[in-house]
């Protein structure tokens, strides 16, 4: 599924399906303050062309020490009556970091903004979060930061229906607020701080298994194996087709008393590292190569899961009746990493499973 020239961006159903070409990494600096007028606010572009659509999920989150940004830009050809409207393409994207959240009073901050280089012109959606697209990040330890508090990432996207002759005919600018946490980056420790208690982390291993809602709908958590339909009624996780004919879905339940919950790290202390598909805890730049039970925080568990296609970036936890909080026994985390829709609303898909070593 590649969304190009669409009416508007939809749900997370499309995560991972964008076709922008990312060629390596492109690190660039935010606008440098004018040495003669260091307190002059950034002039934020006000042009807002309807030809460039913006998703309604603009946000930021901390992953390790990197602030990552969420939001997608698309192209809407229906608002342009010109004969060349079918030729509209993105022609560029720029980023700036400013201090504060008021678009009319953002002071420039000289920090490095890391992003993937995108080849323009391009008709494909721009996804700020995806490493297959823009992949924008700002490191909170960048020496260009002079304090903590509220900041904003300013993103300007341009497009044209004549990409060669008029590279910036259309433009749209958004500001995405983020916070540089004072406890993490501006806290001065006492001269004789109390030693931090040792946390007994429980490591987890990973495996993958191919499943389907019709042929192999069951998953055995302990063995990380598929359970065929004939035996799936007692499986730890039973995946089934759901939704409607026009909008098919995947749901999950259990035949062994297992309960489920989506992870919600960002809603629980320390309010960071809300991992998702392709942003796995063992792949972050924090000096480790394994995930821990503590990486998967959750609130209330329940007997079923729904809308797993719409929420295809979500990671879930599964807890069997044998769950032991002290040892991690009976605790699992899993996610659907890719899926293919088949006949009659069925799906074939791959599950990545975390279990205690």
Note down pLDDT in tens along the chain; length 357 residues.
333 333 333 333 333 333 333 344 555 555 444 444 556 889 999 888 888 999 999 999 999 999 999 999 999 888 765 555 667 899 999 999 999 999 889 999 999 999 999 998 999 999 999 988 999 999 999 999 989 999 999 999 999 887 665 556 899 999 999 999 999 999 776 556 566 666 678 999 999 999 999 999 999 999 999 999 999 999 999 999 999 999 999 999 999 999 999 998 877 766 667 789 999 999 887 778 899 999 999 989 999 999 999 999 999 999 999 999 999 999 999 999 999 999 999 999 999 999 998
What's the whole-model pTM score? 0.49
Pick from 295, 332, 26, 323: nearest CA to 206: 332
Pick from 298, 317, 311: nearest CA to 204: 317
Reduce the DSSP state of residue 231 to 3 states and report it: helix
- Evaluate whether 133 touches 127 at the Cβ level (below 8 Å): yes
% helix, strand, coil for the chain, step of 5: 10, 40, 50
In whole angstroms, give the CA distance from residue 171 to residue 45: 9
- C-alpha distance from residue 207 to each of 91, 204, 272, 336, 348 (Å): 41, 10, 25, 12, 17
């Amino acid at each position: 599924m590649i969304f190009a020239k669409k009416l508007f961006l939809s749900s997370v159903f499309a995560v991972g399906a964008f076709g922008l070409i990312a060629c390596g990494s492109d690190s660039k600096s935010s606008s440098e303050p004018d040495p003669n007028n260091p307190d002059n606010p950034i002039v934020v572009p006000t042009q807002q062309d309807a030809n460039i659509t913006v998703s309604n999920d603009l946000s930021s989150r901390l992953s390790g020490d990197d602030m990552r940004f969420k939001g997608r830009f698309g192209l809407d050809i229906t608002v342009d009556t010109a004969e060349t409207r079918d030729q509209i393409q993105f022609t560029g994207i720029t980023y700036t970091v400013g201090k504060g959240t008021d678009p009319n009073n953002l002071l420039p901050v000289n920090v490095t903004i890391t992003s993937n280089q995108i080849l323009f012109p391009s008709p494909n959606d721009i996804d700020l979060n995806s490493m297959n697209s823009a992949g924008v990040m700002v490191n909170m330890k960048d020496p260009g930061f002079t304090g903590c508090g509220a900041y904003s990432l300013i993103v300007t996207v341009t497009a044209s229906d004549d990409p060669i002759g008029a590279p910036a005919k259309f433009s749209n600018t958004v500001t995405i607020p983020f916070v540089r946490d004072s406890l993490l980056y501006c806290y001065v420790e006492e001269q004789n701080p109390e030693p931090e208690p040792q946390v007994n982390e429980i490591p987890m291993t990973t495996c993958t298994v191919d499943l389907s809602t019709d042929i192999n709908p069951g998953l055995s958590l302990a063995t990380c194996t598929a359970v065929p339909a004939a035996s799936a009624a007692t499986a730890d996780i039973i995946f089934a087709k759901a939704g409607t004919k026009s909008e098919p879905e995947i749901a999950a339940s259990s035949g062994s008393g297992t309960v489920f919950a989506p992870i919600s790290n960002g809603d629980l202390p320390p309010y960071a590292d809300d991992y998702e598909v392709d942003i796995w805890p063992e792949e972050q730049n924090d000096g480790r190569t394994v995930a821990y039970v503590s990486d998967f925080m959750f609130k209330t568990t329940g007997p079923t899961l729904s809308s797993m296609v719409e929420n295809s970036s979500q990671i879930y936890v599964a807890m069997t009746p044998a769950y032991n909080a002290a040892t991690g026994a009976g605790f699992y985390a899993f996610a659907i990493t890719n899926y293919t829709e088949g006949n009659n609303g069925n799906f074939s898909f791959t599950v990545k499973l975390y279990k205690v070593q």
